[in-house]
Copies of this chain bind each other. A is one copy, B any other.
Amino acid sequence: MLGGAATHFALSASFFHNVHVVGPVGDDFGEEELAVLAMRGTDVSDVERVSGGKTFFWAGAYGWDLNSRETLATELGVFEQFEPKLSTASRECDVLFLANIQPELQLAVLEQCSAPRFVALDSMNLWIEIAREALVEVIRRVDCVIFNDAELRQLTGKPSLVAAAREVLALGPTVVVAKQGEYGASLLTADGFFALPAYPLETVIDPTGAGDTFAGGFVGHIARNLDSGITDSLLRQAMAYGTALASYNVEEFGTERLQRLTPAEVTDRVQDLARMTHFEHDAYLVGRR
């Protein structure tokens, strides 16, 4: 089934901004897959087709309530020998998202970009375990990490999310986003905390790619509004857009739902989320009756 961080991310981010994708695919990545990746104007000229190679492959099993998942197979395939060479257009990007892959490769891409104004980073438990130093080096050089909350805990050894985020912020980033699956996501900065629940759904068909779809909406919204400055208010809105897009992603398998998603549908769920989290609090004070 078509997936992959780049595909989910690009489909989502392309609602907000033009996207350039950098990465290798194998012979098994056909024209149809490329067409999905290129939907909504995404530039795929930096997608390198490796003859005889196999596209990155991940398989996992989700628990009954979809709140836990076990990795069954991670095959780096063409990523094993990949040496990124970015086109001029990609080098000049203002906003960069380093999707989950070996930290060394993430660094190689980052170093080719001339002057990105906002860099966000994803990773996974595997790299925390086997490439910790390299990962920390990348974290030092980005503005924002977008990790699962369990990964933040694993990375820092802190059971408290607040303490874990504080430790990551001390390394350099100014923004930590903790993805919490069904429970939503939290945004932690030096002096701010914001949390948003996931959009409530009666049925979740496939959570795969939800994190990358979230990142696409989050980073895409920031890219779209970069000239107004990256304020706390913008980051919070970006959380809502990421959450709305991720909620559509999980409604069907792979990228099926995102392929036919409309901007109006995205806006609808952002407004729903605002309603679902609002409460009036001024008129009431604690006090006995």
A276 adjacent to chain B (CB < 8 Å): yes
In the complex, A18 Cα to B287 Cα: how many Å? 11
Q: Are A202 and B279 in contact (CB under 8 A)?
A: no
Q: Are A288 and B240 in contact (CB under 8 A)?
A: no
Interface string of A266-289 (1 = CB under 8 A from B): 110011011011111100111111
Closest residue of B by beta carbon distance from A235: B279
Stoichiometry, copies per complex: 2
Which A residues between 181 and 214 are near B, CB-CB below 8 angstroms?
182-184, 186, 188, 193-197, 200-204
A112 adjacent to chain B (CB < 8 Å): no
Q: Are B280 and A237 in contact (CB under 8 A)?
A: yes
Interface residues of A (CB under 8 A from B): 14-18, 40-41, 64-66, 150, 153, 159-163, 166, 180, 182-184, 186, 188, 193-197, 200-204, 221, 223-225, 233, 236-237, 239-241, 263-264, 266-267, 270-271, 273-274, 276-281, 284-289
What would 8 more interface pairs be, CB under 8 Å, given A16-B289, A236-B279? A15-B286, A161-B182, A161-B200, A195-B277, A224-B288, A224-B289, A263-B287, A274-B281
